[in-house]
Amino acid sequence: MTMKHRLLALLLLCCALVAGCGRTDKAGAGASALVVGFSQLGSESGWRIGNTASMEQAAKDWGFGLMLENANQRQDKQIAAIRSFISYQVDVIVFSPIVQTGWDNVLNEAKKAGIPVILMDRMIDTGDDTLYTAYIGADFLAEGRRAGEFLKRKADATGAEHMNIVEITGTEDSTPMRDRQAGFMEAIAGDGRFEVIESVSGDFLRSKGEECMRDLLKRYGPEGIDVVYSHNDEMTLGALKVLDEAGLKPAEDVILISVDGQQEAIDALKAGRVNCIVECTPNLGDAVMALVDALSKGEAIPKRNHPEETVFTEFDDLSGLAPRGY
């Protein structure tokens, strides 16, 4: 961060703190001096943008100052942001790790500085659990299983004997990528009807989802792919574009299973262009701030915290579904 950026961040933080003073907030009087340093990993998806908005809104609701740094998909930027939070001596660090590995050094620095760390949305690989105080985010393994369970239900309904599956995965080495894949494989394991013919990385980006689908279609042909399991809605929407261009009927000629539940994808599901969307909620802000508040009061907090999530499928009546907000 340049000196200009530091000054700007400090100015914004002061404004947030001044705005928080003298108003009644969820945490009660006096708590508005709390400062949360939040390292967001990027803006790659509607989910991510919704998640950032949820954190910003929750910080306001709770009367906490929020120092937000967006790493634009770069781990080195996240590490630099965490270091800047340490030097500002924020009260709590919240961050959403882009990948699982490579965090021990910087988290040791936070630990030495006595700053608690909450992992939000994604997990890390570490041999030392004391490097973070809590994790709050989806149970990605359960999400993957839900995707697999849907496929089994669909195969039962259609009487399919064999299905060629292509998987478009999220960012390599990220928690949702690893666990959505593992959960899905676990759910379909031992069922001879299913064959995953290829897994390719679409990095959670719509443009890459499109690129992957184009390439897969070119190599396997329209007859060679029965199912697309895509790790997020952005990539699914990219794949949809390619299927449309190829003159295929999405959700009929090719089964589409997605994850997230952002409005545009839900609209596609309602229009019969997607078969299943496993929900992953980005609305974690309020629960994160509740943990921050508890920590500031010296209360013990659970190490793992999962929001409740569901699955939306072509078999459900979705007419009463509230607008998703992301």
Determine the Cα angle at 207 with ends 198 and 277, to 5°.
Answer: 65
Q: Is 184 in the site for ligand AHR (CB under 6 A)?
A: no
Min dist. Cβ of residue 96 to ligand AHR (A): 7
Comparison of 38 and 84: residue with beta carbon closer to ligand AHR: 38
Comparison of 84 and 230: residue with beta carbon closer to ligand AHR: 230
Q: Which of 280, 284, 289, 295 binds ligand AHR (CB under 6 A)?
A: 280
Stretch that binds ligand AHR, among 40-48, 57-65, 83-91, 157-165 (CB under 6 A): 40-48
Min dist. Cβ of residue 268 to ligand AHR (A): 15
Distance CA 173, CA 67 (A): 27
Q: What sign results for the dihedral spanned by CA atoms 261, 265, 269, 273?
A: negative
Token match 């449309």: residue?
244
Comparison of 40 and 133: residue with beta carbon closer to ligand AHR: 40
Q: What is the DSSP letter of 254?
A: B
Q: Which of 25, 37, 48, 82 binds ligand AHR (CB under 6 A)?
A: 48
Min dist. Cβ of residue 325 to ligand AHR (A): 15
* CA 123 and chain centroid, separation: 11
Stretch that binds ligand AHR, among 11-19, 45-53, 66-74, 296-304 (CB under 6 A): 45-53
Min dist. Cβ of residue 75 to ligand AHR (A): 14
The sheet with strand 65-70 has its strands ordered as 65-70, 35-40, 92-95, 117-120, 134-136, 304-305
Q: Is 314 in the site for ligand AHR (CB under 6 A)?
A: no
Determine the Cα angle at 192 with ends 197 and 312, to 5°.
Answer: 75
Q: Which of 47, 184, 229, 312 binds ligand AHR (CB under 6 A)?
A: 47
Determine the Cα angle at 43 with ends 205 and 204, to 5°.
Answer: 20
| Whole-angstrom Cα Rg for the chain | 21
Q: Is 45 in the site for ligand AHR (CB under 6 A)?
A: yes
Instruction: Give the number of other Cβ atoms within 10 Å of residue 4's Cβ.
Output: 8
Map residue 31 onto helix, strand or coil: helix
Q: Is 279 in the site for ligand AHR (CB under 6 A)?
A: no
Min dist. Cβ of residue 43 to ligand AHR (A): 9
Q: Which of 39, 133, 230, 232 binds ligand AHR (CB under 6 A)?
A: 232
The answer to whether 285 and 59 have CB atoms below 8 angstroms apart is yes
Comparison of 111 and 206: residue with beta carbon closer to ligand AHR: 206
Q: Is 176 in the site for ligand AHR (CB under 6 A)?
A: yes
Comparison of 69 and 279: residue with beta carbon closer to ligand AHR: 279
Determine the Cα angle at 181 with ends 180 and 186, to 5°.
Answer: 100
Distance CA 126, CA 221 (A): 42
Q: How many residues of this chain bind ligand AHR (CB under 6 A)?
A: 13
Distance CA 324, CA 309 (A): 13
Q: Is 210 in the site for ligand AHR (CB under 6 A)?
A: no
The answer to whether 211 and 241 have CB atoms below 8 angstroms apart is no
Instruction: Give the number of other Cβ atoms within 10 Å of residue 174's Cβ.
Output: 24
Q: Is 177 in the site for ligand AHR (CB under 6 A)?
A: no
Q: Is 58 in the site for ligand AHR (CB under 6 A)?
A: no
Q: Is 260 in the site for ligand AHR (CB under 6 A)?
A: yes
User: Binding residues for ligand AHR, per CB under 6 A?
Assistant: 44-45, 47-48, 121-122, 176, 204, 232, 234, 259-260, 280
